[in-house]
Amino acid sequence: MARDWDDLFLVARGRRAASTVPDDVDDPEGRRAGGLARLRASLRATRQALGTGVAAGFSKTLADHDWEALEESLILADVGAPAAAEISESLEATVRRERLDSDALRARLVELLAEQARGRDQDGQPLQATIDLRPQPTVMLMVGVNGTGKTTTLGKLAWQIQHRLGLRVLLAAGDTFRAAATEQLEGWAERAGCEIVTGAAGADPGAVAFEAVVRARAEAFDVVLVDTAGRLHNQEPLMAELAKVRRVLAGQLDGAPHETLLSLDASTGQNGLRQAEAFAAAVAVNGIVLTKLDGSAKGGIALSIARELRIPVKLIGIGEQLEDLRPFDAVEYADALIDGGAE
């Protein structure tokens, strides 16, 4: 069974209310099939980079045991050289040990890809790709490079938390830098039916975050989602400003921010790894949102990040609409990476 929103969010017993997600967003009959088909469609470009547009062609490569070709195509899809080498070596070792038909080989490859995409911590335990909403209130900080999808993701997330879990969300428009950023988030607040705290243009983003937490505590909001302005990971003063927002939140509420999500545009490929490194150093990122997987040929980057930085991918963006944000499922992702289904 694929991971779902209920596997992603940890919610205190008795706190969630009935879901008000309309059927057309979340049709239980069609969702799985529809969702998987959409994920497959999103990963088409990556799959083509893997040279596996057609599953049969891919099986042939495996049957010929062309490990170098496999390794190369994994690297082309931005899986990263170490992961690519490990995967093809492991597959080669399996084949040497036992005779596998192409279906079994394919299944083994999915397993290996999923294993890498899930990632492991220092002690070898699988990374936890959950979002803990049990602290009251839970404060989430969204960070990342310009245009990677921070505001859109927060808006989609606000909608999901508000409608699916029935929790009260407060948005904080911490991007006081870019003109129209506040209006953009206000639009999402309206769609999600949640409240928002804004600041004047050019105001201190830390002050907006501070005010949001004060209000959340006074009015018993469950979740505070803090947006921030985009910045390049090598712009030191801006990274320092982000660290300050984090400090302000930490000083205001024990454990805050409870979740710091980094949004990464999947099409940036291996550069995303550098971004993640720099943001993690500045604000202790504990989850990745991989956006714009639709139309990217570098979807393999999810594997590199989990493996190299030990930060779990928690969410993926596969389009601009509300329903285009999904919990990351390593097996589903690995499967869609090499199999386009009926395309």
With contacts defined by CB under 6 A, how many residues of the chain interact with ligand GTP?
Answer: 22
Q: Per-residue string for binding with ligand GTP, 187-206, x by CB under 6 A?
A: --------------------
- Out of Mg ion, ligand GTP, none, what residue 294 binds, judged by CB under 5 to 8 A for its kind, is ligand GTP
Strands 223-228 and 138-144: parallel
Exactly one of 35, 230, 299, 300 binds ligand GTP (CB under 6 A); that residue is 230
Report d(CA 18, CA 330) in Å as an integer.
Answer: 28
Candidates 44, 150, 292, 326; binder of Mg ion (CB under 5 A) is 150
Using rule CB under 6 A, residue 151 touches ligand GTP: yes
> Residue 316 forms beta bridges with which residues?
290, 326
Residue bearing tokens 């062309």: 66
Residue ranges of alpha helices (H) inside the chain are 5-8, 31-42, 44-49, 55-63, 67-76, 81-97, 102-118, 150-164, 181-192, 205-218, 236-252, 271-283, 301-309, 330-338
Assess contact for 50 and 303: CB atoms under 8 A.
no
Which range, of 2-10, 248-256, 298-306, 311-319, touches ligand GTP by CB under 6 A? 311-319
Q: Which of 152, 176, 182, 275 binds ligand GTP (CB under 6 A)?
A: 152
Residue (162 or 267) nearer to ligand GTP, CB? 267
- Pick the closer one to Mg ion by CB: 80 or 317: 317
Query: Measuring CA to CA, which residue among 74, 117, 48 is closest to residue 302?
Result: 117
Rounded to 5°, the CA angle 285-242-313 comes to: 20
**Using rule CB under 5 A, residue 151 touches Mg ion:** yes
Minimum Å gap between C-beta 126 and ligand GTP is 25
Amino acid present at 127: L
Using CB positions, name the residue nearest to Mg ion.
151
Q: Is 294 near ligand GTP (CB under 6 A)? A: yes
Question: Is 326 near ligand GTP (CB under 6 A)?
Answer: no
Residue pair 301/270 in contact (Cβ under 8 Å)? The answer is yes
* 287 lines the binding site for ligand GTP (CB under 6 A): no
Query: Distance between CA 139 and CA 257 in Å, rounded?
Result: 5
**Binding stretches for Mg ion (CB under 5 A):** 150-151
**Binding stretches for ligand GTP (CB under 6 A):** 144, 146-152, 175, 178, 181, 230, 263, 291-292, 294-295, 317-320, 324
